[in-house]
Copies of this chain bind each other. A is one copy, B any other.
Amino acid sequence: MNPSVIANTGVSETGASLLSIQREMASVFAEIADLFGNPSSLGAIYGLLFASPEPLSMEEIVERLGISTGTASQGLRRLAEMQAILPKKEDGERVTRYEAKLELRPFVAMFLEQQLLPKIGHSAERIETLKQKLSSIPKDSREELGIRMERASKWHRRAKTFLPLVRKFLGG
């Protein structure tokens, strides 16, 4: 009668249903992580913890998601670094358990600050450098290209002022 056939690792009857919700939540967050250029396992782990009232150990995460210990270990580390989850070493326990922080901010911030801003900054630099090379090309092209690169620079400036705003808005 239990519809879930997979990896019933000592979880109670009703637990199976909770597990299916947790797996679905993991899958939803996996998609989102992927959308933002993160490994989907990151999202899956976060999603599972998000849908877990009780903190989970790495072993439980590995079990419930069917991922490898390596992936879980690295994923947990990155999530902790980006402050999306909270590791809790309980008193006399051997294991570390993790719980999801429920704010969106860490996710968004991590993406904006670690991915977007640096890369935008980097390409802005490259364009500045290019502007200087312009002097060495024929006059006709030079003028038009100068205009275009100025335009590209403008985009970058706008993005740089705008992104922190996004962060503020979504971060609350």
Contacts and interface: CB of A to CB of B under 8 A. Distances in A.
A144 interface: yes
Interface residues of A, number: 46
A20 to B, nearest CB: 8
By DSSP majority rule, is chain A's interface helix, strand, loop, or mixed?
Answer: helix
A102 B148 contact: yes
Copies in the complex: 2
Given A119-B31, A151-B102, A53 B17 contact: no
Given A25-B130, A130-B24, A169-B162, A51 B137 contact: no
A141 B37 contact: no
Contact of A170 (B134, B162, B169): B162
Interface of A: 14, 17-18, 20-21, 24-25, 27-28, 31-32, 35, 37, 50-51, 53, 102, 104, 115-116, 119, 122-123, 126-127, 130, 133-134, 136-138, 140-141, 144-145, 148-149, 151-152, 155, 158-159, 162, 166, 169-170
